[in-house]
Chains A and B, each alone.
Chain A
């Protein structure tokens, strides 16, 4: 039969070992927690990149700047008319009077918008859509199911003083 001091020293060393094991487990848990936090942070950063100012400008300001500058342009087929003149004539369904190079204002306006926007947006790696209320002027479908930015230009029709909107959507190309 073992003496009491022997039994005490055995159980004491067992307790010490147990404590050491628990400390190691605690350390491993801390390491795992730190690594998990780092991974979660990395995943969050990768999935939610902050939008750069440049991308914000290109996507938001570009559309509105385009509309303002495009509508002032003098048309090739009839340089005395601007795109604004053709768009408003096209939307004025009761009083269409402008013919440009023998073609109706709607046809020339549609062609001009397409001719200006296509090479420019291709260069920038963008797709676009445009449409005009009450007018036979539209090019849609390119930005379907994509995140898009919209710009609107408002025109006033004479003499009815009604307002129509030219809408341009810009999105990233595939």
Chain B
């Protein structure tokens, strides 16, 4: 009788310990997923800031680089170039695909002294995938009249 009680007590304690492990592993799993998501977002933010320093996009006045500034003429050329490369499936698109993967980069003017424009710089989106989006304020510089407008860069990452 006594040994039965002891066995029963031991089994109950083992069950409690197992439940505790299951609970802890569930909490850890969601915590790890959240950290992975944060790392993805951090990479996106780094990429967004790096984009305005690409030679293909950066604006430079008298050799000094501007912070978060994109050249309007370069922007038009690059977005056309990437879109045509994608349609023709050339090496150029593969080069940018290696850098940008499954993402979408759109720059939309919010305030301009001329007509507002929007550029789809890169679009390798997937309809069914989950999406993470970051918005970065940037200046669009027109080198023909040396003026700045205000735009938002929308960077979306698909998983």
Contact = CB atoms under 8 A, between A and B. Distances in A.
A31 interface: yes
B13 A62 contact: no
A20 B139 contact: no
Contacts of A120: 110, 137, 152
A7 B2 CA distance: 21
B137 A52 contact: no
Interface stretch (A66-74, A88-96, A140-148): A66-74
B147 interface: yes
Interface in B1-53: 1-2, 5, 9, 12-13, 16, 19-20, 23, 27, 34, 37-38, 41-42, 45
Interface in B66-83: 66-69
Chain B interface category by residue count: 35 or more
Given A34-B16, A38-B23, A120-B137, A74 B149 contact: yes
Contacts of B147: 74, 79
Nearest to A124: B135
B110 to A, nearest CB: 6
Interface in A88-143: 112, 115-116, 119-120, 123-124
B120 to A, nearest CB: 17
Interface in B126-146: 132, 134-139, 145
B111 interface: yes
B119 interface: no
Interface residues of A, number: 36
A112 B111 contact: yes
Contacts of A69: 68, 137-139, 150
A86 interface: no
Nearest to B154: A123
B13 A30 contact: yes
10 contacts: A16-B2, A31-B12, A34-B20, A53-B41, A57-B41, A62-B135, A62-B137, A115-B111, A120-B152, A123-B152
The 10 closest A-B pairs by CB, nearest first: A74-B147, A79-B113, A54-B41, A116-B111, A53-B38, A69-B137, A76-B113, A72-B148, A73-B150, A69-B139
Given A65-B136, A69-B150, A76-B111, 19 more contacts: A16-B2, A34-B16, A34-B20, A38-B20, A45-B27, A52-B34, A53-B42, A54-B45, A57-B45, A57-B134, A66-B137, A70-B150, A72-B66, A73-B148, A73-B150, A74-B147, A74-B148, A112-B111, A120-B152
